[in-house]
Amino acid sequence: MLAAMPMHIVETSGLTNCIVSKIDSEDQRDYLRTVEHSAESLMQVIDDILDFSKIEAGRLELDCRKFSLRECLENAVKTLQAMAHQKGLVLEWSIRPDTLDSVIGDPIRVRQVLLNLIGNAVKFTESGSVRVEVTAKPLQDRSLLAEFQVHDTGIGITGDQQKLIFEPFRQVNGSKARRHGGTGLGLAISANLVRLMGGRIWVDSEEGRGSTFHFTTRFEPVVSAQPAELLYGAGSDPDRPLSILLAEDDPASRTLVASLLKPSGHRITNVCNGLQALSAIERQEFDLVLMDIQMPGMDGLEATAEIRKRERETGSHMPIVALTAHALNGDQQRCLEAGMDRYVSKPIRPGDLLAAISSATRCRTALEAIP
């Protein structure tokens, strides 16, 4: 219901546009342009609030796919080029030459963060330039860490303000911000999106001397068929989408796991505690369970022990991969003792999760082959 609202306003706005072109009176055209402008501002406010409430509810999911970093950046800059030009500002961008262009991630959300930061930089800079830069380096687990920087020669942000600006409903320079509009949610949303994308956001600034906003995101590299083989191992079909039960009480982790598994086509069913996991398994067939250890009510260790107890009667074996914030060896031991097949520690690294899933399901395939 709520999700339909921005679309409705987009249509209204388009309609206004269409009417504006058919009206003769200049006054009426002005009124309609004002209406259209107000509708657009309202749409942005509603979009921000919807995004923010989805983030708060843990419902915001990344839509990961292959995309070009260069195109994404170019596109964001182009969108704001006219606004920069009107103010007489130079808006330029660059990508370090050794940066991999083709990556797997959510281009819409990367663009959203870029638009927010570049938009702010243009709004709060009266003269000079806004410069956007991107670099990316490979990490040990083969994922990529991209760093985006937005430099401006604007009014700058004091040390006190720097601590607050990523909090919701905060705006720096009250009167100026009011003139420029906005909900004060943009940076809070950006901070959350960046976190969902496995990165962080921060600002370097000196009052009167401009600011540099930085954010990092993790992307998966685009791999050919050969590394996919490596990931999934011989004997199992690398393209087979799995039906996965995710038992996890933390909304941010649910979102992260969903975004990591989506490109492989896996279907995820979400539950929030051990009891719900048990009843989901009774109702539905799953290929694998991702089990958080700490959950309210029945935790992951108890739920796994109960699943294994029930399996002793049926002779079946559900692959279970533990997700835990405890990076201690003792915990790993407890997971395995409870009957879990594999173990992934948080913060979850994409490579680890995929490897654990593939090896846990392979382990079942092997078991099933034995009569």
What token pair was written down for 54? 């989805």
Minimum distance, C-beta of residue 126 to Mn ion, in the bound complex (Å):
47
72, amino acid identity: C
Minimum distance, C-beta of residue 368 to Mn ion, in the bound complex (Å):
31
Nearer to Mn ion, 132 or 247 (CB): 247
Minimum distance, C-beta of residue 247 to Mn ion, in the bound complex (Å):
9
Which residue's CB atom is positioned nearest to Mn ion? 294
Nearer to Mn ion, 51 or 249 (CB): 249
Instruction: List residues bridging with 331 in a β-sheet.
Output: none
Nearer to Mn ion, 247 or 356 (CB): 247
Nearer to Mn ion, 172 or 301 (CB): 301
Nearer to Mn ion, 72 or 321 (CB): 321
Minimum distance, C-beta of residue 300 to Mn ion, in the bound complex (Å):
8
Minimum distance, C-beta of residue 275 to Mn ion, in the bound complex (Å):
14
Would you tell me which residues interact with Mn ion (CB under 5 A)?
A: 249-250, 292, 294
Minimum distance, C-beta of residue 281 to Mn ion, in the bound complex (Å):
19
Nearer to Mn ion, 141 or 250 (CB): 250
Nearer to Mn ion, 74 or 250 (CB): 250
Minimum distance, C-beta of residue 66 to Mn ion, in the bound complex (Å):
31
Minimum distance, C-beta of residue 186 to Mn ion, in the bound complex (Å):
29
What token pair was written down for 237? 């079909």
Nearer to Mn ion, 220 or 292 (CB): 292
